[in-house]
Amino acid sequence: MMAGKILSIDDLQTVTKTGVIMRCREWSETEVHGGSAQKTSHIGPEGGSVTMPGVSISSTVRNRLHIFVRPDSGPEFDQTFVNPGVGVREGHTVSIVYVPNEGGEPVALVNHDTGKSRVFEGRVSSLLGAPPASPLVAMIGPLYMIALIPLHLSTYWLAFTGKLNHLDGALGRGLGGLVEWTLLNGLLIGLMFALGLLRPGIPAGLREGVVGRIRSQVDALLATRPAEAAT
């Protein structure tokens, strides 16, 4: 199994497990959220309002599915889904598509008997990663920061010895402070480079490309009959 983030479409690898559901269990979990809120009521024929404390309550329902699947060969396995979006029952032939990156989470569920399927696009985003910065960019940050340290320290030395005031008088009032402010900001920029905050992000179109390739695989699975998929 391959570990690590997907940096390009070529990094995508999938594993498909197909078999007959021997046992399934479905249930729902409700999470209740509550908090204080302000409630405004209008009173009187001529308008007016009064604000009173109130309570705001909301809930989130998650449907869970736990299935035991017996493949045509190999040991029986089980899998749990949250909000699967595909109905199943015992005796149905299903295929589960896994991406072995980052722990092997299922990214698609196919029911060959009903022809229904779902790609869990929300899980794809967690599998993607940004390419590392080039060696040149990785070197610029630390070198830039190191180069600014003596300049920054010399500015403080001038301020401590009082020579920065003479610099202000010679170059213009407040110019010495401007020099110090510029050096400080340069130091922060160098630190940002060193921490990798300016590294490139996830390549444009990578998520759509990965989802599209998984959908193509799901379509190919749906094109097979249940008996063929299980063999």
Residues 16 and 81 in one domain: yes
Quote the pLDDT of residue 212: 94
- What are the two backbone dihedrals, phi and then psi, of residue 14, each rounded to the nearest 5 degrees? -125, 155
Residue 225, pLDDT above cutoff 80: no
Residues 140 and 184 in one domain: yes
The pLDDT of residue 204 is 82
State the residue for tokens 């690898």.
13
pLDDT in tens, 14-27: 999 999 999 999 99
d(CA 65, CA 3): 26
Please tell me whether residues 113 and 189 are part of one structural domain. no
Predicted local confidence at residue 127, as pLDDT: 84
**Segment (H or E) for 112:** none
Whether residue 118 is found in the same domain as residue 78? yes
Whether residue 94 contacts residue 218, with contact meaning beta carbons closer than 8 Å, is answered with: no
Segment among 66-70, 111-115, 135-139 with least mean pLDDT: 135-139
User: What does the pLDDT read at residue 129?
Assistant: 76
- Structurally, the chain folds into a number of domains equal to 2
Extract the tokens encoding 51: 């604000």
Q: Do residues 213 and 160 share a domain? A: no
Together in a domain, 102 and 216: yes
Question: Which residue, among 221, 217, 26, 197, has the nearest Cα to 124 in the 3D structure?
Answer: 217
Strand-by-strand arrangement of the 15-42 sheet: 77-82, 49-71, 15-42, 93-99, 105-111, 116-119
Closest CA to 51 of 40, 36, 59, 43: 40
**H or E element in which residue 214 lies:** helix 206-222
| 188 compared with 169, residue with greater pLDDT | 188
Give 71-89 pLDDT, tens digit per residue.
988 899 999 999 999 999 9
The reply to whether 24 and 66 lie within a common domain is yes
Same domain, residue pair 79 and 111: yes
Domain residues for the domain of 165 are 135-195
